[in-house]
A and B are shown apart, each in its own frame.
Chain A
Amino acid sequence: MSLRKFITNKTTAALAVLFTVFANTSAFAQDASVAGAAAAPKVDMGEIYKSVIFYILIFLAVCLFIAIIGKSIKVYELSREAQGKPVGINWNRVHASLFALFLVLGLYGVYWEYTVHGSMLLPDAASEHGKKIDEMFNLTLIITTIVFIATHILLFGFSYIYRYSAKRKAYYYPHNNTIEKIWTIVPALVLTVLVLMGFLTWRSIFFKVEDPNHKPLQIEVTSEQFKWSFRYPGADGIVGTKNYKLTTATNQLGIDFKDINSRDDEMADEMVLPVGKPVKLILTSKDVIHSFYMPHFRVQLNTVPGMKTFFEFTPTKTTAQMQQETNDPNFKFIILCAKICGSGHYNMQKVVRVVSDAEYKTWIAEQKTYLNDDLRKQFNLPVAPAAPKAASDSTAKDSAAVKTNQMALNK
């Protein structure tokens, strides 16, 4: 009855006509394009897969299909009703079963995700503190997975077991203080453990006591749209000061060469680190906020203009070691930007190479200093590389710096 109404319905008829017309036009269009392609043996489906009409048609067909199913369900139910039989479909049972099915398939899906996608993740941490982070991650993962599975079994299990039945009445059970206390206190205790571990790890990462005999290697990182620049400290082991007002085309980082510590600072195209030595990163930014992110070392900290941030860590594996461990001869440690910073955000990369101490020493010896002849002229320094005159410089430093600022600003 209802189905017939559906078929004879004017709107449906109109839709059917439209549908046919659309289907035909696109078919004609297809013919034309085939003809245009000059006797191509096969129809090039690529264009069709890209055409919007194709998808709209598929969607309309699906809608029609669903409408037909809907109507036939209705016909079925009405006929059952007319015959005085119990209502056609027990939707409560359908949904209960679907929830049970969803639980089973979902659990399998989670298992599949954990094993398949779970094996595509970052390799084990290549830094000291990273190991602690990984341990804590695993502990948290175990706890949350247990809770996740248990609560979902209860949620969908209860949905299945306690589906509606006209014969039954629900159990009036408004509260139970003991149970409620238990499930307040147990999560609180578990979280306390996690908080304590997290807190201690966090402190161990960010509050390091410096050992004067074993000073970390300082490296200054400067971010800008859309690249990273590194500054190695040179022989003195100290990265010199910089002042953004000194930035020019030749002095892109705004290094203040009046500071004696700056003069031997070296530039590097990639970040090379000696294995097993603590490294102290001094993170700065020229323009907007970026985030210095080295996933393999579990290192991330934002670089903020106008503010220095520090991250100290110790790499424990060389690149060569990692290539062996991951069975990937092309493996590289990388730096990415993790804070939205503009159109080039998705491609702000640098390579990090962790090498043995000896290799590091040969490499660092080859790097050039930032200070070149042009900059020497600008800062009124003797052009020929000479031993820095420490005493006179440090006294005259302040006034000279001011003068240089003016100079830089006037440019």
Chain B
Amino acid sequence: MSTIALHDEHNHDHADHGHHKETLISKYIFSMDHKMIAKQFLITGIIMAVIAMGLSILFRIQLAWPDQNFPFLETFLGKWAEGGRIKPDFYLALVTIHGTIMVFFVLTAGLSGTFSNLLIPLQIGARDMASPFLNMLSYWFFFSACVIMMSSFFIQTGPASGGWTVYPPLSVVAKAMPGSGMGMTLWLISMVLFVASSLMGGINYVSTILNMRTKGMDLWKMPLPIWAFFLTAILGILSFPVLVAGVVLMVFDRSFGTSFYLSDIVMGTTILPNEGGSPILWQHLFWFLGHPEVYIVIMPALGISSEVISVNSRKPIFGYHAMVYSLIGITVLSFIVWGHHMFVTGMNPLLGGVFMITTLIIAVPSAVKTFNYLATLWRGNIRFTPAMLFAIGLVSFFISGGLTGIFLGNASLDINLHDTYFVVAHFHLVMGSAAIFGMLAGVYHWFPRMFGKMMNAKLGYLHFWLTFIAAYLVFFPLHFLGLDGVPRRYYAFTEFEFMKKWLTVNVFVTWAAIMAALAQVAFLFNFFYSIFRGKVAPQNPWEANTLEWTAPVEHIHGNWPGEIPTVYRWPYDYSKPGHDEDFIPQTVPFSQTMSSNLPHDFEGNAEAEKIQQDWELANPVEENKG
């Protein structure tokens, strides 16, 4: 509580002295305001997403028409696409960088970075993050990581190309492939900066949530996105350092001749001097981060969609406590399932059995979340805002992709499905599409909060339907390629007789992917146009309960003029019987809503219950009220 008081004083100081002199640089570039940093994360994330999407279109073109030349590719890519045909090495680079950018830069930094920064202070009622300077550093480390990653496209040997999991020895031995030279070094540097960024962010999010909640905002009154960001940040703090450890060892192996990951290697007839290491060690270290990472990606999306679905169904989220406990369950379990990425890597089969058990257990909290979403929609009064459409899309993808996870989590089935297109289809649905949809739901929902303008809803509708349909058209057929035993990361399907029957499917999938990519133009136009020319947003455009909609539309440093509002109730009092409106903001005290209070609301506070009973006796309920 003292923290809050302190900050209040701080704000009064501001009021007294007027504003700091804000220069262009301090306002837009080296800003320490959480709202500006959120925008920086979002726009950088969007740019990276567009780049990664472009890369995916490039390799989809190669997969669809492996024996045709596209002169424009040579125009853009030069010798990597000599004669208009992408080279195998560059194909692998495209796949690798697409994966890296999407997982780390878009769905981790772009999603968590944007919405944690924007919503944590606004939804818990804080003036800013616990350490704004660290927050700024977090963005700039992320930005540098992006720049370094992209710079690898401008070196002769090309970007890292050993897959986004960069398994050694492929990624360590420079002779193994051109991308394992300079490109891989840049990948590692970029990743270290990225981890530093996400740690600074994570520590900030956790400390802000734990210490800076406004009066009345106890943990069980926090909106679900905050719970999701909180647990995501904890996951990140505990797992990302392990990746750095792994990366440092890899840097040593690559540059200083150590043998952490290398042993018994002969390249052609050159015998490498490394002895005693194990490539499996990297896989353990990588997936110790890598698996929590996929939850780092999906949990904020789930949090956002919980909020969006509740607001737009005009109904409290069903089973708020169950939603939180399932998030906690996912958080804890996600640390002990990494081995399911390694069932067939030659890891001791005994471990495979154990990891299978933990992996399938994690399906339970995920199932609970899905059913709770469905129960929230049931008997709701659903407004199909663009955000709501995307949130429903997320639930659909989460179901589809989650169910295929049951196949892959089963070690015996994984034998034949590992590293096939089935895996590609699985994670693109459950982690790719679902998380992207969560992110887009968040952008449409909080755009008014971020920029003070409204986005065009109709373009949003168009964007949703095209993307939703195209995503299914792209990823659903890919399952069947995997079931037929087509491995992933194949440059062309022309060399194996049995794959040739899938060439037509590949053409179809590529066209669907192009359609999905073009649909994003509707979003990009809408986004940037609305920043400047959109309609001015009203105070509370979605009639939501959470605190961020009580702050003035015009951004001010410190978020609220005067005192920070006090919170009296949980954030999901939608359509409460007995109340004239279908929402009651968190800042409305129970004394103003006597007609709608329920015994449960007072959490065993005898005095309050008594007052309520007295009031109810004095104001008998009219029977005709539905």
Binding site for B on A (CB under 8 A): 50, 52, 59, 63, 66, 70, 73, 91-92, 95-96, 98-99, 102, 106, 109-110, 113, 117-118, 120-122, 130, 132-133, 136-137, 140-141, 143-144, 147-148, 151-152, 154-156, 158-159, 162-165, 168-176, 179-180, 183-184, 187-188, 191, 194-195, 198-199, 201-203, 205-207, 224-225, 244-245, 247-249, 252, 254, 283, 286-289, 291, 293, 295-296, 298-307, 309, 330, 332, 334, 336-347, 349, 409
Contacts and interface: CB of A to CB of B under 8 A. Distances in A.
A304 B473 CA distance: 36
Contact of B496 (A133, A148, A334, A342): A334
Interface in B457-498: 457-459, 461-462, 465, 468-469, 472, 476-477, 480, 483-485, 487-493, 495-498
B363 A191 contact: yes
Given A162-B381, A342-B177, A169 B364 contact: no
Contact of B346 (A66, A309, A338): A309
A155 B269 contact: no
Given A175-B321, A202-B349, A162 B364 contact: no
Contact of B406 (A63, A194, A207): A194
Contact of B407 (A144, A148, A169, A287): A144
Contacts of A106: 472
B551 interface: no
Contact of B498 (A137, A207, A287, A334): A334
B170 interface: yes
Closest 10 CB pairs of A and B: A295-B485, A306-B263, A206-B349, A309-B346, A95-B384, A306-B264, A117-B480, A171-B379, A343-B88, A170-B575
B328 to A, nearest CB: 14
B459 A70 contact: yes
A343 B92 contact: yes
A136 B322 contact: no
A294 to B, nearest CB: 9
Interface stretch (B14-22, B111-119, B298-306, B397-405): B397-405
A393 to B, nearest CB: 24
A179 B411 CA distance: 31
Of A63, A174, A201, most buried by chain B (CB within 10 Å of CB) is A174
A341 B162 CA distance: 7
Contacts of A63: 521
B404 A144 contact: yes
B604 to A, nearest CB: 17
B279 A289 contact: yes
B289 interface: no
Given A144-B406, A170-B574, A249-B269, A191 B361 contact: yes
B320 interface: yes
B319 A175 contact: yes
Contacts, number: 350
A188 B88 CA distance: 44
B418 interface: yes
Given A169-B381, A340-B170, A137 B407 contact: yes
A91 B315 CA distance: 20
Contact of B382 (A163, A340, A345): A163
Contacts of B420: 338
B349 A191 contact: no
B485 A95 contact: no
Contacts of A50: 70-71
Interface string B261-272: 011111101010
B320 A174 contact: yes
Contacts of A205: 349, 412, 415
A52 B322 contact: no
B577 interface: yes
Nearest to B626: A169
Nearest to B95: A340
A305 B263 contact: yes
Contacts of B518: 59
A203 B177 contact: no
B322 to A, nearest CB: 5
Given A59-B518, A338-B418, A338-B419, A91 B461 contact: yes
Of A133, A158, A207, most buried by chain B (CB within 10 Å of CB) is A158
B225 interface: no
B454 interface: no
B173 A288 contact: yes
A80 to B, nearest CB: 15
Of B377, B400, B488, most buried by chain A (CB within 10 Å of CB) is B377
Of B353, B400, B419, B487, most buried by chain A (CB within 10 Å of CB) is B487
Contacts of A173: 315-316, 318, 375, 378-379
